Each structure stands twice: as structure tokens, then as C-alpha cells.
Amino acid sequence: MQGDKAVVKTEPAKPARVYPAPDPAYFDERRIWAQEFAGQLVFGTYHRLFTRLKIEGRENLPPEDTAMVIVGNHKSFYDPPLFQTSTNRKMVYFAKQELWHNWLLGRILTWLGAVPINRDKPEKSRIKFLIHMMKQGWSLGMFIEGTRCRLKKKLGRPNVGPAYFARLTKAPILPIGFVNTDQRFGPVIVRIGKLIQPKDDVVATTWEIMDALSELTGYEIAERKLANEKD
């Protein structure tokens, strides 16, 4: 009828996903076994057989009870287990929470000791959890780019997360360069760099990490911009 207002139907808002706070009790001997099984036996064996894996710089590893922020570049789905393969350390992994949208992938990541995190605004529960775990000698594993970089022989835009968590926990940073992990048959090279001490200026520390990764991998830094900076 004339004068009647059109009725606009709106879809109800979808409830926000809830990611429960990680439980330190879950990170026990079974989690250490799961990480060693995946890193040393499964992926270690795969790389030795098919990618001619070579690990360099193990002399740069500090004593085993040293909690570190271990930071690598990211080229392939095969990268995460190489943290453990190359260092043989017990680790908490912070990964973007969107990966848990896939139920199976989320289950696998949780089994391996990964924890979902909001990269734009880390929850206080994650921060408290990390501080507690590092006091127990667990290291934190992170990719500085946050996601895979598809640029050949280059490093993508970095996030300040690793530098931020290192400053927060006063833990040293161990850069690890992953080379050719995006090549099916390698040769894959993992180079472990020298420890970097955290600083109050997380941006400066981030670029110090990036320069170390560039030197370790031989990859160029694509551009001197952070991941959250607009073009």
C-alpha cells in the first residue's frame, strides 16, 4: 500500500567465536612427547629422506633450561615442526586463531602444543599463560610474518609480536632461518642464529630480527613496512 514502509529483514548476527584460555596442565610430559614425535621422528625422518635436510648453527643454542622466543620466517606448512626438529626444545606455539576455524587442523595444532591468539589484540589470558609457561622453561615459537610468505626468496612484512613477547618476558630471541622449505625436494636448510636480547623499542627489535633472518636465509626483506601498516 502507498505510504507503507518497506520492511527490511536482517540476518541475526553470528555469535563471536570463543577460544578458551589455554590450560598449563595440558603442557605436560605427553605434550613434550607429542612434539618430539612430530619434530624428530615424523618430520625429521621425512626431511632426512626427501629434502636432504641440513641444520646449521646448533652451537648457538643456549642451555636446555633457557626459555626463549624462537622466531622463524614462514614459507611452508612444513615449517612449524622444524622448530622442534632443529632445537629439540619444549615449546608453546602461538598461531593465528583463524586456523582453529578448521576443526581437524585445530585439533592437530592443539595436540602439538599450539595456542590460538588474536594477532591484533592478544588476550590477557594468553599473556599470563605465556609468562607462567616460560617460567617453567618452555620456549615460545612464532613466525615473524604471521603467515606464509609466497614471494620467492623474500621475507614478508613482519609483526611486532615476537619482539613484544620477548620484552614482556625478558626472554632472549633466537632467530631461525628456514631455506627452501617451499621446495618439495629441497634441499632444505635450517640455520640457527645468535641470540638477540629484547629491547623496550619493539619496532627496532623487530627489524633486528628481520635483518638476522635475512642474513640467515639469504632472502631479501620485501619492504620496510610492518604487517599492519597500510600502503
Count of domains forming the chain: 1
Please write the tens of the pLDDT for every residue from 19-40: 767 889 999 999 999 999 999 9
| Domain that residue 38 falls in | 27-221
Q: Is residue 94 part of a domain?
A: yes
Q: At what angle do helices 43-50 and 79-87 cross, to 10 degrees?
A: 100
Q: Is residue 6 part of a domain?
A: no
Rounded distance between C-alpha atoms, residue 51 and residue 46, angstroms = 8
Q: Is residue 16 part of a domain?
A: no
Instruction: Specify the pTM.
Output: 0.88
Please write the tens of the pLDDT for every residue from 119-175: 778 888 888 999 999 999 999 999 999 889 999 999 999 999 999 999 999 999 999
CATH of residue 35? 3.40.1130.10
* Phi, psi of 219, deg, nearest 5: -85, 145
Average pLDDT over residues 33-52: 92
Q: Is residue 186 part of a domain?
A: yes
CA–CA distances in Å: residue 116 to residues 93, 152, 191, 217: 9, 28, 27, 27
Strand partners, 154: 220
The answer, yes or no, to whether residue 52 has pLDDT greater than 80, is: yes
Grid coordinates representing 42 are 615424523
Q: Which residues, in sequence order, are CB contacts of 162 under 8 Å at separation 6+?
A: 69, 71, 140, 142, 144, 173, 206, 209
Please write the tens of the pLDDT for every residue from 152-166: 999 999 999 999 999
Q: Is residue 231 part of a domain?
A: no
Q: Is residue 14 part of a domain?
A: no
Q: Is residue 13 part of a domain?
A: no
Q: Is residue 20 part of a domain?
A: no
The answer, yes or no, to whether residue 10 has pLDDT greater than 90, is: no
